[in-house]
Chain A
Amino acid sequence: MEQILANGIYLGSQYAMIALGLTLIFALMNVLNFAHGQMYVLGGFVTYTFYGQLGFPFVVALFLACATLFVLGALIEKFLFGPVIRRSSREESTMLLAAGLAFFFDAVILLVFGEKQRGVPKIVDGVFNWDFRLIMPYDRILICVLAIFSIVGFILFMQYSKTGRALRALAQDRTAAQLMGVNVDRYSMIGFALGAMLAGLVGGLLVTITGVNLGMGGPTSIKAFMMVMIGGAGVISGAIAGGIILGFLEAIGLAVLSQYGDITYLLIFVSLMIFLAFRPQGLMGKPWG
């Protein structure tokens, strides 16, 4: 039981971080960012390059991953999503753009970083072992703590900073925010950049545990969408709840159902379908959007 709880907290914290960026972008711009997983992978590869290849300290590499994705996100919003949203009121235009971006990033990652799985040296050695009832490597504990701190930091930023308040106003009512003097274009760009940065941050953190390869983007996006669907699209607290719920479901399923084969995700998908049939807006979403 202790192991299941620990695995659930660890998985939940990293999943919540992945979902946060996705839901932020959706809340601000109504964009389903199918390239979110690829942004996560890019963050991992930037950290791999600076920490694993060039020998920079991990913290510096992580900062560079965040900065790279922030700038990339800002550019993508300014030159791609922004113009498309202005010119087309059809939601599928941004969806197609996001899907195209995902393919583009996959191709770029293959060209620049190659096809191999990449990994970096452990940031902390050793394993916490409580009488074989609870086994957890110290680097996982550290990453889990860092992820929780990042989530708390993000919530505080959204709650108390001027930018955070502007972003929340934008998410609640774009027109009203504009009438109140919020520079919608500027904060849309900042919001998208922040969402991309969060993907880069979690990619950079997790490269120390899971490594990174070019095929991780698609599956990461799918999991992120699942978490957002559970919690409620466009709701920050919903994304966190969705991530934690998915993490615990996975940890419990893998421990309890392993003898029946790989049916954990089958059951999770079935449960999600039933859940969405009764509550399509998710746990914390509003039926009217």
Chain B
Amino acid sequence: MKRRVIIKSAAAAVALSVFTSAGAMAENQTLKIGFVGVTSGPAAAWGISNQRSMEARAAWINETGGYTIGDTTYDIEIVSFDDQKDPKRAIAGMEKMAQEGIHYVVGPNVDDGAAAVRPVAEANGIMYFPYAFPKELYTAPASNAVLGMVANYQSGPAIYKHLMENEGVKTVAFIAANESDPLSQRDGGVAAAKELGLEVVSDNVTYQVDTTDFTPVLTPVMRTQPDLLVLSGVSPANAPQLIRSARELGFQGLISTETAQDAQVLREGAGDLANGFISVGGASTPELASDAMREFVERYTDMFGEYNDESNTKVYALEYILETLKADPAAIEDVSVFQATMDSFEAPNPYMVGDAKLRYVGMSSFGQKRQVAVPLVVNVYQDGEFKTLFVAEVD
């Protein structure tokens, strides 16, 4: 009896050690991808939607066996750093990424942060994907930044032109927060509107980023009675309040922005007053979303409790990084290979129906391919959800 137990135990131990060593052999290597952006304070929604999009996608990849680049299969690890929307912190974040040997980083979310990290990224061989619009970040001699979304100077003219042709818009007013990103977006919007022949009736009203009551701010703008009110670079936290105040002040015209928004935030903050609000979105409206996009939304929701519509545009950066690395595995350690690959890179876009492609664009705006080709999907909010107004291509 005793001998039998010993034999059984020994057999179990051998079997266990075999399984364990096999498991160890099958364990994937880890590929670290960084995120440096704002995940606290009033603009936290921008960075958190970035970070969570990356984490949701990484968890999905890891759960399904990892991501194969060349002959190696990797588990994806997201290394995050909250820059608190402070350029100094953004530099510290990028230095941390360099210390960890990370060559691919998503972020920062704002103009000054993206400009501040440029020397660190270029000196340490880091490609980074900011959500910031200054052209000098993407124009030679700058080499390592790739714009992760559609810029306002690309989406704005398309929206204004559409509204001029379809809604008879003739006059426009701009309002922006007194911060570098919204102000530069406002200036770009004003220039684009004038070039299209729109009459700009108000463009100098700004507000503190921590404003909570916009009625006094909007009152002078409403007196100009524009056909279109543009909320330049508006954050998701401020958009519903601005819309609500404008409508309560009797504004009957159209309201638009060139930033991404969240339908739930608009519904809670402005209700039916937000109907007709035009914003730039991603590819998750029912008519455009693929099964992969729907699964991404489902997984994100399961992981974090609720989805953020801003992630419709932010799902792309990690996908671009991984697909480009797959196209030439040598780029894992050498970003110059990555840069060379970008010129000819093309892969199917998993998040959109049809034959949409992932590819790099930017030749017309930056003179080099330093922008991801996400679709320019212009949405209109109606009764709690976004509907596609029109779809266009950048570049």
A residues lining the B interface (CB < 8 Å): 3, 7, 10-11, 52, 106, 110, 114-122, 127, 129, 132, 135-137, 140, 206, 209-211, 213-216, 218-220, 250-251, 254-255, 258-262, 265
Residues A117 and B178 in contact in the complex (CB < 8 Å), given A52-B268, A137-B248: no
- Pick from B40, B178, B216, B250: contact of A261, CB under 8 Å: B178
B44 at the interface (CB under 8 A from A): yes
Residues of A within 8 A of B40 (CB): 106, 110, 214-215
Residues A116 and B248 in contact in the complex (CB < 8 Å), given A7-B216, A213-B42: no
Expressed in whole angstroms, the Cα–Cα distance for A224 and B54 within the complex equals 38
Residues A206 and B44 in contact in the complex (CB < 8 Å), given A114-B305, A122-B271, A258-B220: no
- Pick from A210, A218, A262: contact of B41, CB under 8 Å: A218
Q: Could you mark each residue 41-66 of chain B with 1 if its beta carbon is under 8 Å from any beta carbon of chain A, else 0?
A: 11111001100000000000000000
Residues of A within 8 A of B240 (CB): 117, 119, 211
B215 at the interface (CB under 8 A from A): yes
Which of A114, A118, A258 counts the most B-chain CB atoms under 10 A from its CB? A258
Residues A262 and B178 in contact in the complex (CB < 8 Å), given A121-B271, A213-B237, A215-B42: yes
Residue of A whose beta carbon sits closest to that of B223: A132
B206 at the interface (CB under 8 A from A): yes
B residues lining the A interface (CB < 8 Å): 39-45, 48-49, 178, 204-208, 210, 212-213, 215-217, 219-221, 236-238, 240-241, 248-250, 262, 264-265, 268-271, 304-306, 308
Which of A117, A259, A261 counts the most B-chain CB atoms under 10 A from its CB? A117
- Pick from A10, A114, A119, A216: contact of B269, CB under 8 Å: A119
Residues of A within 8 A of B208 (CB): 262, 265
Expressed in whole angstroms, the Cα–Cα distance for A213 and B308 within the complex equals 15
Residues A258 and B212 in contact in the complex (CB < 8 Å), given A116-B45, A117-B237: no
Residues of A within 8 A of B205 (CB): 258-259, 261
Residues of B within 8 A of A127 (CB): 248, 250
- Pick from A7, A140, A259: contact of B204, CB under 8 Å: A259
- Pick from A10, A216, A261: contact of B42, CB under 8 Å: A216
Expressed in whole angstroms, the Cα–Cα distance for A205 and B207 within the complex equals 23
Residue of A whose beta carbon sits closest to that of B178: A262
Residues A119 and B249 in contact in the complex (CB < 8 Å), given A114-B306, A210-B241, A250-B216: no
Residues of B within 8 A of A121 (CB): 271
Residue of B whose beta carbon sits closest to that of A129: B250
| Least CB distance, B301 to chain A, in whole angstroms | 12
Decide if A260 touches B204 in the complex (CB within 8 Å). yes
Residues of B within 8 A of A265 (CB): 208
Residues A117 and B216 in contact in the complex (CB < 8 Å), given A129-B250, A262-B207: no
Decide if A206 touches B265 in the complex (CB within 8 Å). no
Expressed in whole angstroms, the Cα–Cα distance for A115 and B309 within the complex equals 13
Residues A206 and B212 in contact in the complex (CB < 8 Å), given A110-B44, A119-B269, A258-B220: yes
Closest 3 A-B residue pairs measured CB to CB? Answer: A215-B42, A219-B210, A119-B269
Expressed in whole angstroms, the Cα–Cα distance for A220 and B41 within the complex equals 12
Which of A206, A210, A255, A259 counts the most B-chain CB atoms under 10 A from its CB? A210
Expressed in whole angstroms, the Cα–Cα distance for A106 and B220 within the complex equals 35
| Least CB distance, A135 to chain B, in whole angstroms | 5
Residue of B whose beta carbon sits closest to that of A138: B248
| Least CB distance, B166 to chain A, in whole angstroms | 29
Given contacts A254-B217, A254-B220, 19 further A-B contacts (CB under 8 A): A7-B215, A11-B213, A11-B216, A114-B304, A114-B306, A115-B39, A116-B45, A117-B240, A117-B265, A119-B268, A132-B250, A135-B215, A211-B268, A213-B45, A214-B40, A218-B41, A258-B204, A258-B205, A262-B206
Residues of B within 8 A of A11 (CB): 213, 216
- Pick from B207, B250, B268: contact of A120, CB under 8 Å: B268
- Pick from B44, B215, B241, B308: contact of A214, CB under 8 Å: B44
Residues A117 and B45 in contact in the complex (CB < 8 Å), given A137-B248, A255-B216, A258-B220: yes
Residues of B within 8 A of A7 (CB): 215-216, 219
Residues of A within 8 A of B215 (CB): 7, 135-137, 140
